[in-house]
Chain A
C-alpha cells in the first residue's frame, strides 16, 4: 500500500470535511438557539454567494465592498426570516418548522435567481487552487493551497464564534436562550431579538461557506446541495455543538474519501453519495445523540 497516497487521500478528506463543517456550523447555530432545523441553510449559502459574486461581476464593486454589502444583506434576510416565517410558528411541532424552512429554501432559491439570473458565475477570491509546491517536491503529497487557506479561515471563524459566545453579552444571551427559553425570558432576555441576531449570524456563516464553496466550484444552483452533505456531519457531531460540527466534518470528510478510494472499486464505485449517511446511521445506533450532542432524556 502506497503510504504517500494514503496520506494524500486522508489530508484531502480532512480538508474537504472542514468545508462541510463550515456549512454545518450555520445549522448548529440556528438549532442551538431556536430549536429549528433550518433546511434553508443551503439556499442561504447559495444566495449569499450569488449576491456577492453578482455585485462584483455585474455591478463592478471591488471584492471587499461586495463582501460587506453581502454581510448586511444576509443580516437583513435573517431578521426578516425570523420575523415573517418563524414568529408565527413559534409553538408548532418541530416538523412544521422544518417544513417551513423547506418552503423557505424554495423561496430563497427562486428569489436569488430572479434577482441575479441563472448563469453560472466565477468567483475569484485570489487564492489559487494548485498543489503546494513544498509538500509536492519534498514528500510527493498533493495538498491544495486553497484547502489549507479554507481550513485556516474556518479555524478563525470558529475561534471568533467561540469568543463571541463566551466573552460578549449577546453571546452569553444566546447561550442562555439555547439552554432554556423560559428561563432566559424570566431573566429578561429579549427572545425575539436574540433569534433575529442568531439568524443574522447564521447568514454570515452561510456567506463565508458560500464564498469558499463558490470559489471552489463556481457559483451556481448546485451550491444548495452542499447542505445535504452537511447533514451526516450534524448527525455525527450532534445538532447542538460547534466543536461537534468541526469534528464531525473531519470524520465524515476523511472516511468518505478513504471509503471511495479503497472500498469503492470493490463495489463499482460512486459510494460517496450514501457512505456518509450510512456511517452516520451506524454511529447513531451506538450513540443516538451524536458525539457531542445533548443527551436526550425522555420522560413520560
Chain B
C-alpha cells in the first residue's frame, strides 16, 4: 500500500528515466547510504570493518565485474581472480615506480591494465561459447598466476615473490585505521556501482543483453559482436582489477600471486550465481551471503560445541547443500527474491 507509484508524476524525460523512479526507493537508498557512510563508522567495531565490511565491499565489486561479463553479456568466465591479481600487482608497480602518483590514479591504472589483459584473453570469446569459454578462461587464470610468479619484475625482485602493498595516502591523509579504509573502499565501490548501473541501462548494456540472449540474432540486427564482447571483457576486468587492488591494499596488506587462485574465482562465481545473474543488487547480496555464511557456520558450530574437525567438514557440507538448495528454490538468485518481495509490497497489507 505504501510502496506504489500512484501519485508520482514525472514532468521531464530525465526524471522518467532515473534509476529510482519511486520516491520510496530513493528514500530507501538515501537511508542506506547515510547508514553506510555515517552510522556504521560510529557504531561498528574494528572487527566488523576489517573482517566483514571491507571484504564484503571488495567482493561485491569483483562480483559486479563478473556479473557484467557473465550475467549481462552471457560470457561465462572462471578467470576473475586472475584479473584481480593483475589489478593488484599493476597498482603496486605503478605506485612503486612512479613516485608521488595519486592513489586513485594508481587504482584506475591498475584497473586499466587488467582491462587490457581482459581484452587479450577475451578474444577467444569471439569464436567459443558456453562451457568451452569457461574452460578457456581457466587458461587465463593459470597463466596469469604463473606469469606473476615467474616474472620477478612484477614483484620487484622480492625473494619470496610477495608484494607488500604501500600505504594508502591521499592529499597527505593516510588511510590506516580500519574505519578510514572502510570509508575509502565504500566510496570507490558506490561510485563504481552507480557507473555499472547506468552502463547496463544504456545502449551498451542493452547490446550486452542482446548478445547474451542470442548472439547470432544480435549480429543480424547490427550489433558489432567483437566490439560488444570485448567491451564486456574490458569493463568486467576493470572492475575486477580495481577490486583486486583494493584486496591487496585495503584488506590483506601483503599478497602473493597464489592468493588470487582458482578458489577465489569460484567464490566470486558463487556470489554472482547466488546473488542473481544480470542484477547489480544481486552482486551485493551474493557477496554478503558468501562472506557471512562461513562466519555464521563457524559461530554456530562453536555454539554447539562440536569438535573442530567435525565442524569444519560440516561447514563444507552445509555450504554445498545451501548452494544446491538456493539453486533449486530460486534459480534466479537472491535478487529475484528481493524483486518478488517488492512486488508483494505493492499490495501489502491488502490481499489483492
Contact = CB atoms under 8 A, between A and B. Distances in A.
Q: Are A and B in contact, CB atoms below 8 Å, in the complex? A: yes
Interface of A: 37, 85, 88-89, 92-96, 98-100, 102-111, 113-114, 117-118, 228, 231-232, 234-235, 239, 267-268, 270-271, 273-274, 277-278, 280-281, 284-285, 288-290, 296, 298-300
B124 to A, nearest CB: 6
B20 interface: no
Contacts of A300: 214, 216-217, 220
A107 B139 contact: no
B224 interface: no
Contacts of A284: 124, 127-128, 132, 136
A277 B313 contact: no
Interface string B124-146: 10011111100110110011001
B273 interface: yes
Contacts of B316: 106-107, 109-110, 113
B191 to A, nearest CB: 30
A79 to B, nearest CB: 16
B199 interface: no
B139 A277 contact: yes
A110 B216 contact: no
A110 B135 contact: no
Contacts of A299: 216
B127 A103 contact: no
Contacts of B220: 300
Given A92-B327, A106-B319, A232 B217 contact: no
A96 B164 CA distance: 38
Contact of A280 (B135, B143, B216, B277): B135
Contact of A288 (B129, B269, B270, B320): B129
Interface string B289-322: 0000000000000000000011001111101111
For chain A, what secondary structure do more than half of its interface residues adopt (helix, strand, loop), or is it mixed?
helix
A285 B331 contact: no
Nearest to A107: B320
A270 to B, nearest CB: 6
Contacts of B128: 281, 284-285, 288
A103 B129 contact: no
B146 A98 contact: no
A109, A114, A270: which has the most chain B beta carbons within 10 Å? A114
A267 B149 CA distance: 12
B39 interface: no
A238 to B, nearest CB: 10
Interface in B15-62: none
For chain B, what secondary structure do more than half of its interface residues adopt (helix, strand, loop), or is it mixed?
helix
B170 interface: no
A104 B128 CA distance: 27
A298 B214 CA distance: 9
Contacts of B143: 274, 277-278
Given A100-B324, A284-B128, A285-B124, A114 B138 contact: no
B328 interface: yes
Given A95-B277, A99-B323, 10 more contacts: A95-B70, A100-B323, A102-B320, A103-B327, A110-B315, A114-B310, A231-B135, A235-B136, A288-B129, A300-B214
A99 B309 CA distance: 26
B115 to A, nearest CB: 20
B76 interface: yes
B337 to A, nearest CB: 15
A278 B310 contact: no
Contacts of B346: none
Interface string B266-278: 1001100100010
B297 to A, nearest CB: 11
B132 A288 contact: yes
Contacts of A296: 129
Nearest to B152: A268
A94 B74 CA distance: 12
A92 B331 contact: yes
Nearest to A111: B317
Interface string B234-274: 00000000000000000000000000001000100110010
Contacts of A298: 214, 216
